[in-house]
Amino acid sequence: MISLLAYIPFLDPINAFHDWWYLLLLPLSFGISVIYKGMRMWHLERFWREVTVMTIQIVAGMIALAIGLALFVQLVIPLLPMDGYQTIHKGAAAFCFFSAARALNRTSSLRRRRHGA
């Protein structure tokens, strides 16, 4: 009972589907297929067949994307040189610093113009 009183929405997620959340892809893709085919088909004789085909296509596409991204992360990313990452990271940090400095300079010059200084 105490744990229910301590629940804060958006900060503490409910872990009801935590172990099998990926299975929610099936009803999601089925619902998308039903709505899409219901809006796009003129004749509904082959409605359920096309909904089934589209559901299988969505699920297969998501599985293929997951496998492709997993292979990319496991095989390609470790081959990248670390110097490039550090250079990009330092460049991004320098860009953020100079952008912030330019924005502060712009606002201070606007204040000086408004106040007649």
User: For residue 114, what pLDDT is reported?
Assistant: 56
Tell whether the model's pLDDT for residue 17 goes beyond 80: no
More confident residue, 28 or 18: 28
Q: What is the pLDDT of residues 35-88, one digit of tens each?
A: 999 999 999 999 999 999 999 999 999 999 999 999 999 998 888 777 655 555
Domain edges within the chain: 1-80, 81-117
Name the average pLDDT for the chain: 78
Nearest-Å Rg of the Cα atoms of the chain is 26
Tell whether the model's pLDDT for residue 6 goes beyond 60: yes
Whether residue 33 contacts residue 54, with contact meaning beta carbons closer than 8 Å, is answered with: yes
Instruction: Quote the pTM value.
Output: 0.59
Q: Which two tokens stand for residue 4?
A: 């229910």
